[in-house]
Structure 1
Amino acid sequence: MEKLDKLLTELRNESSMNIDQESTSNILTIINEEDRTVADSVKKTLPAVEKAVDEVVQALKNGGKLFYVGAGTSGRIGILDAVECPPTFSVPSDLVQAVVAGGDSAIATAVEGAEDDEQLAAKELASRGVTELDVVIGIAASGSTPYVAGALQYAEEVGAKTVSLSSNKDSLISQYASINIEVVTGPEVLTGSTRMKAASAHKMILNMITTTTMIKIGKVYENLMVDVKVSNNKLKERAINIVSTITKVSYADAEDVLRKTDYEVKPAIVMIKADIGFASAQEYIKQTDGFIREAIQLAHK
């Protein structure tokens, strides 16, 4: 494992050397100025992120799954992205999974030593049935976390596609992945506190990976979430507004059609746009692999 003091994420930030003596306003300004650099750092990684997205899209189309693996903050960032996919895109809860060193208990409380165990990660991925159909993304700001390295090595052994996400150049975990996303965010305002810029960059990248993937597999029409899972009143209203916006019918008419689809947005849109029934709309959506623009065109032929 590389010594921490050699990593860019562990170096002292010249802009915050005297932060403990600054006013509240100045502290906030320093943090904000550093945060403003994150998006530019992410931009430099877009070619690598694109490669990762292409792999994930292909994997999901072939029946595979996406796994995030991390320890501490990195693991929790993976959880944040994974748990939002089912309600946002109506995908199965196991399609995007987050694996955290130390298990579920590590979400709220650090589990001592878990991130140093390479074999523990391999056992966890094996228990989840990772195969050559899947994509495993290992996340570690330092790029040297043994748990993540172990996960990527196991993933490669079983033939899964592998992606590393770190915040240091030429990181250890990059050696065990076919695609390397190294988002160099530099020294943190608080030395070594990678829950700040590094974690922000990682969250942005994971958001981009899943959002772009879902767009590419037909979960979005224009810029609307047409596969939203209606599980509460707010999402019910969003579904009605989406249908009304796309089809130009009234709020009341959109709601009436959605009742017939049990609040599934896609068939409701196709039903209105193509003037067909629920069963026919479902069939056209199935024939076009979930892409409702194509489903509407097919229905009109």
Structure 2
Amino acid sequence: MKTETASPRYRALDTWSSEDILETMLEGQMAAVAAVAPALPAIAAAADAAAERLARGGRLIYVGAGTSGRIGVQDGVELTPTFNWPKDRLIFLLAGGDLSLMESIEGAEDDSEAAEREIVAAGIGKDDVVLGLAASGGTPYTVAALRRARALGALTIGVANNAGTAILEASAHPVLLDTGAEIIAGSTRMKAGTAQKAMLNLFSSLLMIRLGRVYEGQMVDMQASNKKLVLRSERMLRQLTGCGSDAARAALEKADGNVKLAILILRGRSPEEARTALAAAGGHLRKALEG
């Protein structure tokens, strides 16, 4: 297993100068991001397939243990404030439960029965998307969750940093991030974790674009939950429509802060007409504007 292999190159690492150690670790981080490039076709296929399920009302479920589980949570929690992804359509299944976000829960990653119970308890079905992550590719908890979810008809996506592993085999859409040996042997929070985070950044952002939550490169479904984001909403409206600040604020007020509705209102629709047009377009602003 490459991620557990001790490389002869780093055998005397602790005798190197601090600058040399940092330079080598930085090179490893850059190589980790580069390792995502060969997986782009697999990531694109997974995101497109996931968008089809989620467009029908499905949920996005992140599954993992330890570092991989925490990275999944970090990605998922950002989808609500950034893209207004509904909280009730986002689930995190972590080996050892929520406590594992802050401390290591010994033995939890080996509990495959717990994973199966949690998948069933979540009511996973055919419109759901289950994304499992594990550097090793063989974490029993994550493998069991993916297999059970697939048996229940969910779309499964497996992300691993070792080829030929159970997580990749258990998934309809396997994504291999071949990061190789870690500079500190087995410390997969380093290269493997960086590659997973980069992959999730790409996957979830593409997914939200395909679901119509991005228009003209702007986060038009963003939740304006503080003063900074209210100002960002107004700025988006000015940039996208050419309106002035007063018109932007008035449109946002009529649209209850919804940027997409505000754009349609500024294009001459009433609030009711704007809501109807956006719903008919499946939430895609470009389609609503063209309709």
Could you say whether these structures have the same fold, taking a TM-score greater than 0.5 normalized by the shorter chain as the test?
yes
Match among 241, 248, 265 for residue 247 of structure 1: 241
| 1:185 aligns with one of 179, 184, 194 | 179
The answer to whether structure 1 residue 290 and structure 2 residue 256 are counterparts is no
Q: What's the CA shift string for 1:145-186, capped at 9, x where partnerless?
A: 000111011112212121210000101222211221111001
Question: Which residue is 2:101 aligned to?
Answer: 107
Query: Residue 44 of structure 1 aligns to a residue in which SS?
Result: helix
**What residue number does 1:151 align with?**
145
What is the distance in 1 between the residues matched to 2:9 and 2:231? 46
1-structure distance, mates of 2:286, 2:153: 35
Distance 1:232 1:13, change over 3 A: farther
* 1:21 partnered with 2:5: no
CA distance in 1, matches of 2:127, 2:253: 37
Query: What is the CA–CA distance in structure 1 between the aligned matches of 2:231 and 2:20, rounded to whole Å?
Result: 42
The verdict on how the C-alpha distance between 1:14 and 1:247 changes in structure 2, with shifts beyond 3 A counting, is farther
Cα RMSD, aligned residues only: 1.3
1:114-152 per-position Cα deviation (integer Å, ceiling 9, x unaligned): 100101101111111111221211110000100011101
Q: CA deviation at 1:219?
A: 0.5
What's the CA shift string for 1:47-91, capped at 9, x where partnerless? 111221122101111221121110001110110111111111112
Query: Corresponding residue for 1:53?
Result: 47
The reply to whether residue 226 of structure 1 matches residue 220 of structure 2 is yes
For residue 275 of structure 1, report the CA deviation from its aligned partner: 1.8
Equivalent of 1:173 in 167, 170, 182: 167
- Picking from 253, 263, 266, the partner of 2:260 is 266
Q: 1:251 to 1:21 in 2, by over 3 A?
A: farther
Residue 113 of structure 2: aligned partner: 119
> Which shows bigger deviation, 87-96 or 144-153?
87-96
CA–CA separation in structure 2 for the residues paired with 1:103 and 1:177: 23
Give the Cα–Cα distance (whole angstroms) in 1 for the partners of residues 159 and 109 of structure 2.
16
The residue aligned with 2:200 is 206
Cα distance between partner residues in 2 of 1:279 and 1:13: 63
Q: CA deviation at 1:15?
A: 4.2
Which runs of 5 or more residues in structure 1 are unaligned? 1-6
- Amino acid aligned to 1:125: I
Give how far 1:250 is off: 1.9
Q: Within 5 Å, which residues of 2 pair with 1:127-138?
A: 127-138=121-132
1:62 and 1:287 mapped to 2: Cα distance? 14
For residues 264 and 9 of structure 2, the distance between their equivalents in structure 1, rounded to whole angstroms, comes to 55
Identity of aligned residues (%): 37
SS of residue in 1 equivalent to 2:132: strand
**TM-score (norm. length: structure 1):** 0.93
CA contact (8 A) 1:218 1:291 kept: yes
What residue is the counterpart of 1:42 in the other structure?
Answer: 36
Q: How many residues align?
A: 291
Paired letter, 2:287 = E
The TM-score, its normalising length taken from structure 2, stands at: 0.96
Return the alpha-carbon distance in structure 2 between the equivalents of residues 91 and 175 of structure 1.
Answer: 29
Instruction: Tell me if structure 1 keeps the 8 A contact 2:48–2:210.
Output: no
